[in-house]
């Protein structure tokens, strides 16, 4: 072997040794880690599961399409268990131990309020996609951004339907006693005031209550035109099955989104779910880019139909991709700046973060009205976007088989 070839061999051997000693990330770009906070166990795991499945589906597409400027995106999921302390610890772990560049997810308002506080204190950007209590974006937290509308906007789509179709004179409001439920009740009371509807009763209940008969017996005696309910899946189903047992027949049963749009609501409530009308934040029939494609692919893959919760998560994943692609670096302040400059069309609607009233970094979207018809969720309002006619009035006793 001549002298020149020997020198080249020694050079490449030395280079190989150096490569073995270097951290892997210096030779091949490591994945970009984003923490996702969801309730993956407990009574709200149905929601967490649908959102995780939607995040996973989007993540596969994103990485299959080149990731973030050639680097893989990696979602680190942490179970908040719908518990404030568990949520706080999950956020702290993702930020301090896992060193994520930003947070996503956020389901129940009470837990998300605490995790948002942790993110703000650590100056880590947090893109919330579901938790809706207005107060979350009213704290002046400049590292907290919300994709979904606040709960105060949930009933906005219902108002014209009530005014033009139902024309109720009286109402009863039954809501979960939580940050989300209390604000939803307060907002619907304002809707009633604008529409000239007299609220006969406002009744709060604790999540997981086993017996709705006492409160619904009281409601039956009041005989309201409509009953507005704010609840998650199990409680919403229990409300309707109890209403059927008591033969409670208002003109309209009205849901405040949340559990009333989930496929599990039909499974639990059975015949008592049909013809229920509810506020909704999304539907696959809306003329939004990719809405029906997402719905079809999710249904085929997971053998169940997604509702707006899944669409929120899927859209959030693409907002995260867009934000990280545009960020000048993955330093928190640069990601924050990229979030502030977001202008993106998604299957959930347009996304840009603005300030209005007391809110900052809040995306503004409209809401819709849907109705369960033979176990399928149909978009019934506004008329120009509907994919089905509404069924009203409803003969509840006949509907329930009496």
Do 60 and 170 fall within a single domain? no
Query: Sign of the CA dihedral 59, 341, 258, 137?
Result: positive
Do 162 and 246 fall within a single domain? yes
Do 188 and 132 fall within a single domain? no
Please name every residue paired with 379 in a beta bridge, in sequence order, or none if there are none.
Answer: 370
Neighbours of 206 (CB within 10 A): 10
368-373 and 277-280 strand pairing: antiparallel
Residue with tokens 């702290």: 92
Query: With contact defined as beta carbons under 8 Å apart, do 371 and 151 qualify?
Result: no
- H or E stretch covering 85: helix 84-92
Instruction: Let me know if residue 183 belongs to a domain.
Output: yes
3-class DSSP state of 133: coil
Residue with tokens 């309209």: 252
Instruction: Let me know if residue 14 belongs to a domain.
Output: no
Do 79 and 114 fall within a single domain? yes
d(CA 184, CA 369): 16
Do 242 and 378 fall within a single domain? yes
Which structural domain range is residue 315 located in?
32-149+287-363
d(CA 324, CA 259): 32
Do 358 and 393 fall within a single domain? no
Structural tokens at position 301: 């893959």
**Cis amide bond preceding 252, omega within 30:** no
Indicate the Cα dihedral angle 280, 152, 135, 170, nearest 10°: -110
Angle at 317 between CA 316 and CA 320, to 5 degrees: 85
Do 81 and 167 fall within a single domain? no
Angle at 111 between CA 116 and CA 332, to 5 degrees: 20
Do 132 and 189 fall within a single domain? no
Query: With contact defined as beta carbons under 8 Å apart, do 173 and 201 qualify?
Result: yes
Q: What phi, psi does 105 have (nearest 5°)?
A: 90, -140
Count of residues for the chain? 402
Please name every residue paired with 90 in a beta bridge, in sequence order, or none if there are none.
Answer: none
CATH number at residue 158: 3.40.50.2300
3-class DSSP state of 178: coil
Instruction: Let me know if residue 206 belongs to a domain.
Output: yes
Residue with tokens 């409803």: 394
Q: Tell me the C-alpha to C-alpha distance, in Å, between residue 136 and each of 59, 132, 186, 358.
A: 27, 7, 16, 10
Residue 210: its pLDDT value, please? 80
Task: Count up the domains in the chain and report the number.
Answer: 2
Do 351 and 298 fall within a single domain? yes
Do 110 and 211 fall within a single domain? no
32-38 and 73-79 strand pairing: parallel
Residue 287: its pLDDT value, please? 97
Question: By C-alpha distance, which of 52, 124, 114 is closest to 88?
Answer: 114
Instruction: Let me know if residue 3 belongs to a domain.
Output: no
Region of 33 (left: φ > 0; alpha: ψ -120 to 50; beta: rest) is beta
Instruction: Let me know if residue 385 belongs to a domain.
Output: yes
- Both ends of the chain: CA-CA distance in Å? 98
Q: Which residues contact 60 (CB under 8 A, 6 or more apart)?
A: none
- Each of the 402 residues of the chain gets a pLDDT tens digit; together they read 555 555 444 544 544 444 445 443 334 589 999 999 999 999 999 999 999 999 999 999 999 999 999 999 999 999 999 999 999 999 999 999 999 999 999 999 999 999 999 999 999 999 999 999 999 999 999 999 999 999 999 999 999 999 999 999 999 999 999 999 999 999 999 999 999 999 999 999 999 888 999 999 999 999 999 999 999 999 999 999 999 999 999 999 999 999 999 999 999 999 999 999 999 999 999 999 999 999 999 999 999 999 999 999 999 999 999 999 999 999 999 999 999 999 999 999 999 999 999 999 999 999 999 999 999 999 999 999 999 999 999 999 999 999
Instruction: Let me know if residue 7 belongs to a domain.
Output: no
Query: With contact defined as beta carbons under 8 Å apart, do 103 and 119 qualify?
Result: yes
Do 201 and 237 fall within a single domain? yes
Do 60 and 183 fall within a single domain? no
Instruction: Let me know if residue 89 belongs to a domain.
Output: yes
d(CA 388, CA 384): 11
Instruction: Let me know if residue 19 belongs to a domain.
Output: no
Question: Please, is 185 exposed, middle or buried when counting C-beta atoms within 10 Å of its C-beta (0-12, 13-18, 19+)?
Answer: buried
């Amino acid at each position: 072997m001549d002298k020149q070839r020997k020198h080249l061999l020694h050079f490449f051997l030395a280079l190989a040794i150096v490569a073995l000693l270097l951290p892997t990330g210096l030779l091949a770009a490591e994945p970009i880690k984003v923490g996702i906070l969801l309730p993956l166990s407990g009574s709200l795991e149905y929601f967490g599961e649908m959102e995780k499945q939607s995040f996973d589906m989007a993540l596969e597409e994103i990485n299959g399409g080149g990731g973030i400027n050639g680097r893989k995106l990696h979602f680190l999921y942490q179970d908040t268990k719908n518990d404030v302390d568990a949520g706080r610890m999950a956020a702290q772990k993702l930020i301090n131990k896992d060193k994520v560049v930003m947070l996503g997810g956020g389901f129940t308002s009470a837990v998300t309020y605490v995790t948002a506080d942790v993110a703000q204190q650590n100056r880590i950007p947090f893109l919330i996609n579901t938790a809706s209590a207005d107060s979350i974006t009213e704290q002046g937290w400049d590292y907290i951004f919300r994709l979904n509308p606040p709960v105060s906007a949930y009933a906005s789509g219902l108002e014209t339907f009530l005014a033009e179709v139902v024309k109720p004179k009286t109402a009863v409001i039954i809501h979960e006693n939580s940050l989300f439920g209390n604000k939803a009740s307060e907002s619907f009371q304002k809707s009633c005031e604008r529409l000239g509807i007299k609220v006969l009763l406002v009744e709060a209940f604790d999540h997981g209550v086993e017996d709705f008969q006492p409160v619904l017996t009281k409601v039956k005696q009041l005989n309201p035109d409509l009953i507005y309910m704010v609840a998650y899946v199990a409680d919403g189903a229990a409300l309707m099955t109890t209403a059927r047992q008591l033969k409670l027949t208002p003109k309209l049963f009205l849901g405040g989104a949340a559990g009333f749009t989930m496929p599990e609501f039909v499974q639990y409530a059975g015949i008592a779910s049909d013809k229920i009308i509810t506020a909704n934040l999304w539907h696959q029939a809306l003329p939004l880019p990719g809405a029906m494609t997402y719905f079809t692919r999710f249904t085929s893959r997971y053998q169940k139909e997604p509702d707006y919760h899944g669409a929120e998560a899927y859209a959030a994943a693409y907002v995260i991709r867009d934000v990280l692609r545009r960020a000048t670096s993955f330093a928190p302040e640069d990601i924050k700046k990229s979030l502030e400059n977001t202008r993106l069309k998604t299957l959930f609607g347009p996304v840009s973060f603005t300030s209005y009233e007391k809110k900052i970094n809040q995306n503004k979207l409209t809401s819709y009205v849907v109705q369960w018809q033979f176990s399928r969720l149909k978009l019934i309002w506004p008329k120009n976007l509907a994919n089905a006619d509404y069924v009203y009035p409803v003969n509840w006793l006949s509907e329930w088989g009496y």
